[in-house]
Structure 1
Amino acid sequence: MAVRPLGSGRYAVDSSSGATYVVDLPRGDCTCPDHEIRGERCKHLRRVALEVTERRVPAPGKRRADCAVCGHESFVPESGPAVCGDCWLERGDIATDRETGDTVVVYRLTDERADERYIDAAGCTVAEYPKNEGYPPDDPVVEVVYPFSGEADSPLDERPRYAFPYARLAVREEMLIE
């Protein structure tokens, strides 16, 4: 049985009989008669689960693509930035600005590229910003905050955010817990 991802946790399963059934993995549904009539977990559901477990097809919410950071083919979110799990940044991750040595905290990883994100205050894109020269213009944009600016107890949402190309940040093995 061949399994093809359709998106949103749905998969087409081409059976050996020539029929194609649609499996909705999050709902545990299949369009085959065995599942619809008997309500049993059919072989198509089991096959999709096996293919996902063996990482031959993406899990629900994921798609196969090249990571925008490392370039390796992997499973990335269906929507949002095409960044693999190894390169993914979470809110609260701590990084060092490679240009200044300042410590910054990740606010969010965006689905914008540095050559797409316009900075009104600077009158240019993130990629065109003078201190970002030499970083890939197609890098994902990471919004960061400076943790030591402003009130010590103010949450990340209340601090000014700045846009950086991903490669400008050296991610550390630390995280700020809000």
Structure 2
Amino acid sequence: MTHPAHTPASLPATRSKTTFPAAGTTGRARRARVEPMAVRPLRDGRYAVETAGGTYVVDPDAHTCTCPDHQLRGARCKHRRRVALEVTAGLVPPPGKRTAVCAVCGGRTFVPTAFSGPALCPRHDHRVGALVRDRETGDRLVVVGAAGERADRVETAEGRLVADYPTNADYGSHEPVFWVVYLDSLGRDGDVRRYAFPASRLQRIDSEGATHPDAGPTPTDGAASPTTA
């Protein structure tokens, strides 16, 4: 099974006003849910909240809003509540993060504001210690690290780019690279060599993400090619 390369789509710069179900709430909590609002993250960690009555700026870290309800009464206004609702629902990035597109599927994801590498959504990201399968060979592997760079920029121990290997031709050259070791190599004596794979070539074996076995030597770069031939 292979995944063709995807070209990440552009994300919309603005959002339409939306609502949440009332969910049995009253007062400001209800107004935060049922009144049409559009929340837009700003570059400095604050949020602009557009309503029928105007646009206000919410600062979650300072617990403030520029609306009269907060400025005059010190209340936890509907705008602050709405920002919290949208962050919790994953509709806008939390403070300290920004919206990005997944390098594999082009879907929306959130990354730290200063992040500069190719992004991955939770579905296609691989945490260290996760048990995965090579889509090309069916071999079981353990993730031991992330290169933080694209397949067309990461070199193997042979001096070749990961994207240049024929077995990686069906995977995007823009995809982030992960370092893995073969599961059946962990019980052997000596160094365990790491291999490099584009993100979408690695398939999760289970939704829990099996952990790295405790036994076995510490992985090293080794001298062999970090990709399968």
Task: Bin the TM-score by the shorter chain.
Answer: 0.7 to 0.9
Other-structure match for 1:144: 180
Q: Does 1:76 align with 2:110?
A: yes
Shift of 1:152: 6.3
* 1:90-130 C-alpha deviation (Å, 9 max, x unpaired): 211111223443321012344321112122x2122110134
**Hey, what does 2:79 align to over in structure 1?**
44
- Give the secondary structure class of the aligned counterpart of 1:51: helix
Stretch deviating more after TM superposition (88-97 or 126-135): 126-135
Q: 1:153 to 1:92 in 2, by over 3 A?
A: farther
More strand, by proportion:
1
Q: How many residues align?
A: 171
- Once superposed, what is the RMSD of the aligned Cα atoms? 3.2
Q: Is the 8 A contact 1:7 1:60 kept in 2?
A: no
The match for 1:122 among 142, 150, 158 is 158
State the structure with more CA Rg. 2
TM-score by structure 2 length?
A: 0.60
The equivalent residue for 1:29 is 63
2:141 is matched with which residue?
104
The percent identity for this pair of structures is 47
Q: Distance in 1 between matches of 2:198 and 2:44?
A: 29
Equivalent-residue separation in structure 2 for 1:125 and 1:69 (angstroms): 18
Matches within 5 A, 1:47-66: 47-66=82-101
Task: Map Cα deviations across residues 14-41 of structure 1 (whole Å, 9 max, x no partner).
Answer: 45554542322xx362242654665432
Structure 1 pair 153–41 and aligned structure 2 pair: CA distance change class (3 A): farther
3-state secondary structure, aligned to 2:143: strand
Q: What is the CA deviation profile of residues 29-72 of structure 1, one whole-angstrom value per residue up to 9, with x for unaligned ones?
A: 2242654665432222112123334443233454333321122x
> How much has 1:136 moved relative to structure 2?
2.0
Q: Specify every segment of 5 or more residues in structure 1 that has no aligned partner in the other structure, as ranges.
A: none
